[in-house]
Amino acid sequence: MKDLMIHVERIVRPVRARQSRKLRMRRELLAHLQAALEQERAHSADDASALEQARQRLGEPAELTRELQRSVPLIERVLLARTPENWNGWEKRAGKRLGWYEPATLAHWLVLCGTGAVAVMIICLFAPHIPPEARTRFFVDGIDHPAHARTVLAVVWVVQVFWFYIGMRFLTAAAAPAGVFRLPRVIRRGTLVVAAQGLLMVLIITQIVRRSPTVAEMARTLGISLLLLGVTMFVGRGVAALRRPYDEWLTLDLTQ
Amino acid sequence: MATITGDALRGHLETLVLSALRRGDAHGFEILRRLEEAGSGALKLKEGSLYPALYRLEAAGMVKGKWEDSATPRRGPRRRIYRLSQKGQRRFDEARREFQLFTTVIGGILGASA
């Protein structure tokens, strides 16, 4: 069974498609290979040659990968397009720590950069805790000192992107399969999430509202951060349960 | 016996799948068995090619797929059962007319009418 799964995974893993679509491909090809193997066993002298015959009936793996890729809708292919290797070092490293390699895609980058942009837009337009007079002051200052205003928004954007990225890493650690789950990693990433959220709050209050943050505000931010981490941890364990069918495929070692 | 292989079938595989499904709902392996049986051993498909064809047909609404009931008593992973939709049936009728016209015209030119 494992030999068949590895053969299927070699075909399906390079396909750029969402994981649920790939899981369906895997299951169908595995069911097919298994039926073909049973047929071949009836005609072959030994198991190894039956397995080889069953594999050959499926066709050349690289060609089948290309055909499967063409059956994926265009929008999905574009969003899941791989980004250059040197862009996704962080994702590759995260993947390796979890025991498998899942390259970063255009969708990852769009979400990551988009999240930072949303934070900047919220600050500029909707943040209810920034008094209107402070908003005005910030923009008036921005007109007088545009370089300063641009720098503040850029730093907010960077911190927000980092916060989201490390938050996702925290979720990934929380959702790791049982054998890979490590509490120290969860605690380390959780600490970074809290630090990033605190930094964001300090940055907004000191640079946009233009005053020092109060102890109550710091405590509230810490409380909200811990609450968010708790919810994320809970969601992560739920994700881990949902992801179990994928893990048996994604953890297969294709180098053997 | 001379065989018809992958390249010659290119462009016809989807119609062949629709044709196999006219005989009733089936999973991929059964569709293949029906095609081979109907081709009297002269059809040699790369079996994996069937699935991209099925995915395209499903995306176009010509077939509908659903996973086999988990209570079905058999070993191994669950299979996906495909059913021909009305749109698929219409497309099959259309493709058959086009193919008949093609064989009549080209066969006439080649002096090899069926």
Residue B89 resides in a domain = yes
Residue B70 resides in a domain = yes
CATH of the domain at B65: 1.10.10.10
Total domains in chain B come to 1
Residue B11 resides in a domain = yes
Residue B19 has which token pair? 């044709």
d(CA A190, CA A187): 5
Residue B29 resides in a domain = yes
Higher pLDDT, A120 or B84: B84
Please tell me if residue A74 touches chain B, with a CB cutoff of 8 Å: no
Residue B60 resides in a domain = yes
Of A25, A27, A67, the CB nearest to B49: A67
Please tell me if residue A73 touches chain B, with a CB cutoff of 8 Å: yes
What number of CA atoms fall less than 13 Å from residue A99's CA on the CB side? 15
> For B21-52, how does the pLDDT look when each residue is reduced to its tens digit (9 = 90+)?
999 999 999 999 999 888 767 777 788 899 99
Interface test mutation site (partner B, options A5, A28, A75, max chain B beta carbons within 10 A): A28
Domain of residue B66, residue span: 6-110
Residue B1 resides in a domain = no
Residues in A touching B6 (Cβ below 8 Å):
59
Q: Do A31 and B29 touch (CB under 8 A)?
A: yes
Residues in B touching A31 (Cβ below 8 Å):
27-29, 76-80
Per-residue pLDDT of chain A (256 residues; tens, 9 = 90+): 788 999 999 999 888 888 889 999 999 999 999 999 998 888 887 888 888 888 998 889 999 999 999 999 988 888 877 665 555 554 455 445 444 445 467 777 777 777 777 767 776 665 556 666 666 666 666 666 778 778 888 888 888 888 888 888 888 888 877 666 678 888 998 999 999 989 988 888 888 777 888 899 889 889 988 998 898 888 888 877 777 777 788 778 777 6
Q: Do B51 and A32 touch (CB under 8 A)?
A: yes
Angle at A213 between CA A211 and CA A216, to 5 degrees: 140
Closest chain A C-alpha to B20 CA, distance in angstroms:
17
Residue B44 resides in a domain = yes
d(CA A12, CA A26): 7
H or E, element range at B93:
helix B86-110
- Looking at residue B51, its amino acid is Y
What per-residue confidence (pLDDT) applies to B21?
Answer: 95
Neighbours of A47 (CB within 10 A): 12
ipTM of the complex as predicted: 0.83
The pTM of this model reads 0.70
Residue B53 resides in a domain = yes
Q: Do A59 and B55 touch (CB under 8 A)?
A: no
